[in-house]
Structure 1
Amino acid sequence: MTTMSVMSRRSTSGALVGVAAASVGVIYGYDSSNIGAALNFIAQDFGLGDGGKQALATVVVIGEILGAIAAGWVANRIGRKWSMVAVAATYCLFALLSALAPSNAALLGARLLLGVTIGLSVVIVPVFVAESAAPHRRGAMLVAYQVATIVGIIAGYVVGYFLAGASAWRWMLGLAALPALFVTLLVLRMPDTPRWYVTRGRFDEARNALAGIDPQADVDLEIAEMRAALGEASGGRLSEMLRRPWLRATVFVVGLGFLIQITGINAVVYYSPKLFEDMGFSGDFGTLMMPAFVQIAGLAAVIISLFTVDRMGRRPILLGGIAAMVVATIMLIMTYGPLHGNGTAAHLLGFGGLVLFTMGFSFGFGALVWVYAGEAFPARLRSYGSSMMLTSDLVANAIIAAFTLSLINLIGGAGTFAIFGAFALVGFVFVYLLAPETRGRKLEDIQHFWQNGGQWPADDPIITSVGDPR
């Protein structure tokens, strides 16, 4: 085989990883927004009030929690690749069942099962990407998953807008089966990750997979480092994460996962039509396309994060994004409070606040959740750590989905965003105190931060060269 053909094969392998992850991200994002676009039409057909609407938004998150809890075991048991195949294929099935549901009870059941597949995906995809990407591209590839997620959110609103005239909520839900089918066929062509092969003692397959990822890699050295990292302690057990040195890492990922969602981003995604209606916007354009414009701004922010995460580092991006969210909540408190959502000033301030809130989230929390989910733990614990982080994230998401409309009815938009702003402040302090800077490091080296009590060792070469205290 010529050098050119080898390089082409490796380039194709890396591209397939990115395309597969992005396609799953589109599915996840589309489901988050299309239910918001479809809710009013479903409510009309099935006679639902705000409680019924919240149930349809919440039941999928409950399924996601169940999927995320099981994802670590599944990913370790059958591998990252076959887990992704199972996720995509079953999502396709349950999306079609949702579209064909004859009653609200049937729709709730289909969406619960749909949520299980999404819960599996949000844990497994970051692990799959982190273990299939070269160190100098890992951050960007993980952020690309969030780019795709926002593209999916935008697509959900746009599809909702064009189908709204026919009240075609079944088509809104069912169209999600198409990208899921594409992912199923794509991932079937791919190998599993080198690190999973190493955990199973399948070293020849690990070498072949690694050779297809990084043209610059010293394959034998990389395999030796993976084996050494796995051999440093007996492991792969959940109990390891609850004692030193991994307890600190567990506290970090669980806390970060919860704060990412409890700050309210999915209140904006699920209930944007309601938020814009309360600001005086009306019609399908005002309540469905305006949320799409908000998400386009979020897409721009995450693209900036994509191109800077491996240059600026994780911490500056994360802290900057949270700070923007705090400012945005102040704008939204003014919109729904003193301005009462009425008039041109309220419209401009409210729209600007939702844009800034979404951009801040997408730039920081939204992009970095996938990075830290894939980086925080060594290979034997990575799927468990990712599962715990995303489970925490989804528990907070369930709270947001279940209570946002009730909270707005009880204390108004100003009070609701004041609560979100308070959690954002807590998140800023939490990240500042606990988040490690993992830019440019091999996955096997990141464990030294936790083993050293939350500090990089004094003889760390990156610390020595740049003086980064985190």
Structure 2
Amino acid sequence: MSDVGVVESVPRVSLNGRSALVATLAAVAGLMFGLDLGVISGALKFIGIEFQVNDFGKECIVSGMMVGAALGALFGGRLSYILGRKKLLIISALLFISGSALCALAPSVPVLIAGRVVLGLAIGVASFTAPLYISEIAHQQHRGALISVYQLMITVGILVAFISDAILAYSGSWRWMLGIVGVPGVLFLIGVLFLPDSPRWLVLRGRHDEAFDVLHGLRGNDTHARDEIVEIRDQLAQADGGYTLFKRNPNFRRAVYLGVALQAIQQFTGINVVMYYAPHIFEMAGFGTSAALWGTVIVGLVNVLSTFIAIGYVDRWGRRPMLIAGFIMMALGMFTVGILLYFGTGNSDLARYAAVAMLLCFIVGFAFSAGPLVWILCSEVQPMKGRDFGIGCSTFTNWGTNMIVGLTFLSLLTTLGSAQTFWLYALLNLIFIFVTMKFVPETRGVSLEQIERNLMAGKPLNRIGL
């Protein structure tokens, strides 16, 4: 019997409205994440004019956020274990608010970079905590879709940032561009105060009655809540956790390495080349400044709409097929943009719009595959006792590789050339197809506890979801 048949034989469980609401509130962290990612693309040109910043200085401004995010992810795991997921989301909201204010009021480049680092801390903490929290409150049959809402919020944030950049660009108001993050930060802070703690974290801390109450509210069923509590407690019978488990257990190390590889892959697809430098890319293709900014808005809109593909089908089609299809589309998009840049778009409207079309092809491929699915998989494959440590390592990797991408893109354009830079990312996406086929598991419809049992039993990584 195939694994697809096994999944389909499981009775379908309706999505509880409370679970959906709680997951959506937690996913608002992604909205602020997206605002921070997107807003810098429109502001960078005006910051460069006001402070007379060269390309390296611009790369430092872009990458300052990634430094903070890497640090936030590095310490997020331990803080999440001690304080809980909810308290850490509150901390991230406070950091978002203070970081956006510091950026908006920055009198110099060093202060601006410091503000970006604070925002990065907020993003690092939120990007670690929100998917983890959602995975722990969601039912297994809806886990992929609910975690994908987090990625959807990121894309919505990016789109809002691109639109505000395009509107504010007429006046060059880069401070307003950067300060806009503070508004949803306040709303997020208020929303998080009403979230319950993660039931799995409550069991981890020995607060079983509270965990049952939370699960009962999320599932609306005593039996389902009690069964989940029993499964969680069985998994926690393992003595070691975190770094100790990493040192002693080679099966856990496999899960950590897989999470690290997946996050590195997500960044080296080249997505943030497009998100951070989209106006620059459009100008290379021959568009004027205003057209480039509104073209960037189109990129953001396509990014949002394509994420709905993941939400609708990730728990039907599965993780692996969608990843492979996404990498094929991304490779095709990057390769074709490289060809068009190599031969030059000149005064040809057809060539310019073909470049836009293939850039959007890349965005669609990312938005329904590596964008949401990497966060889903990283929250699924880590065992309970080592989940904070494992997801902390993978999220740290995300921001470390993100920083490398942000720091090197303009330099790669100068040294390799624009076409060759896009071909490099196309080649990487082709390589990622084979990595997915060899190592990535299909976890559709499988409980976190079953995935853990398969992992710890020594099954090959690409079969721990069977």
TM-score range, shorter chain: over 0.9
Any conservation in 2 of the 1:434–1:454 contact (CA below 8 Å)?
no
Structure 1 residue aligned with 2:375 = 370
Structure 1 residue aligned with 2:107 = 102
Structure 1 residue aligned with 2:35 = 30
Structure 1 residue aligned with 2:253 = 247
Q: 2:278 corresponds to which letter in structure 1?
A: S
Structure 1 residue aligned with 2:214 = 209
Structure 2 residue aligned with 1:55 = 60
Any conservation in 2 of the 1:57–1:270 contact (CA below 8 Å)?
yes
1:44-123 correspondence runs (5 A): 44-123=49-128
Structure 1 residue aligned with 2:224 = 218
Structure 1 residue aligned with 2:3 = none
Q: Distance in 1 between matches of 2:461 and 2:179?
A: 48
Any conservation in 1 of the 2:440–2:462 contact (CA below 8 Å)?
no
Structure 1 residue aligned with 2:44 = 39
- Do structure 1's residue 385 and structure 2's residue 399 form an aligned pair? no
Q: 1:13 corresponds to which letter in structure 2?
A: R
Moved more, 442-451 or 127-136: 442-451
Structure 2 residue aligned with 1:405 = 410
* Equivalent residue for 1:175, pick from 180, 187, 203: 180
- Do structure 1's residue 149 and structure 2's residue 179 form an aligned pair? no
- Do structure 1's residue 260 and structure 2's residue 266 form an aligned pair? yes
- Per-residue CA distance 1:33-84 (angstroms, 9 max, x = gap): 1011100111111111111111110111011111111111011010000000
Runs of 4+ aligned structure 1 residues displaced above 4 Å come to: none
- Do structure 1's residue 334 and structure 2's residue 339 form an aligned pair? yes
1:1-16 correspondence runs (5 A): 11=16, 13-16=18-21
SS in 2 for 1:167: coil
Any conservation in 2 of the 1:13–1:190 contact (CA below 8 Å)?
no
Q: Distance in 2 between matches of 1:457 and 1:356?
A: 28
Q: Distance in 1 between matches of 2:329 and 2:170?
A: 36
Q: Distance in 2 between matches of 1:220 and 1:12?
A: 19
Q: Distance in 1 between matches of 2:45 and 2:460?
A: 50
Structure 2 unmatched ranges of 5 or more: 1-14
Q: 1:74 corresponds to which letter in structure 2?
A: L
1:412-427 correspondence runs (5 A): 412-427=417-432
Q: 2:256 corresponds to which letter in structure 1?
A: T
Q: Distance in 2 between matches of 1:254 and 1:179?
A: 30
1:325-364 correspondence runs (5 A): 325-340=330-345, 342-364=347-369
Q: Distance in 1 between matches of 2:326 and 2:431?
A: 13
Q: Distance in 1 between matches of 2:397 and 2:244?
A: 17
- Do structure 1's residue 229 and structure 2's residue 255 form an aligned pair? no
Structure 2 residue aligned with 1:313 = 318
Q: Shift of the alpha carbon at 1:310?
A: 0.5
CA gap of 1:249–1:59, structure 2 versus 1, over 3 A, is same
RMSD: 1.8
SS in 2 for 1:213: helix
Any conservation in 2 of the 1:448–1:456 contact (CA below 8 Å)?
no
Any conservation in 1 of the 2:286–2:345 contact (CA below 8 Å)?
no
Structure 2 residue aligned with 1:293 = 298
Q: Distance in 1 between matches of 2:281 and 2:179?
A: 26
Q: Distance in 1 between matches of 2:213 and 2:180?
A: 36
- Per-residue CA distance 1:338-381 (angstroms, 9 max, x = gap): 23565223212210111011111111100102101211112221
Q: Distance in 1 between matches of 2:335 and 2:138?
A: 39
Q: 1:453 corresponds to which letter in structure 2?
A: G
Any conservation in 1 of the 2:279–2:289 contact (CA below 8 Å)?
no
SS in 2 for 1:212: helix
| TM-score, normalisation: structure 1 | 0.92
Q: Shift of the alpha carbon at 1:21?
A: 2.7
Moved more, 373-382 or 215-224: 215-224
| TM-score, normalisation: structure 2 | 0.93
Structure 1 unmatched ranges of 5 or more: 1-9, 464-470
Any conservation in 1 of the 2:152–2:308 contact (CA below 8 Å)?
yes
Q: Shift of the alpha carbon at 1:11?
A: 4.9
CA gap of 1:341–1:92, structure 2 versus 1, over 3 A, is farther
Q: Distance in 1 between matches of 2:132 and 2:362?
A: 28
Q: 2:276 corresponds to which letter in structure 1?
A: Y
Number of aligned positions between the proteins: 450
Q: 1:219 corresponds to which letter in structure 2?
A: A
SS in 2 for 1:281: coil
SS in 2 for 1:371: helix
SS in 1 for 2:58: helix
Any conservation in 2 of the 1:248–1:454 contact (CA below 8 Å)?
no
Q: 2:281 corresponds to which letter in structure 1?
A: L
Q: Shift of the alpha carbon at 1:404?
A: 0.3
Q: Distance in 2 between matches of 1:391 and 1:454?
A: 26
Structure 2 residue aligned with 1:7 = none
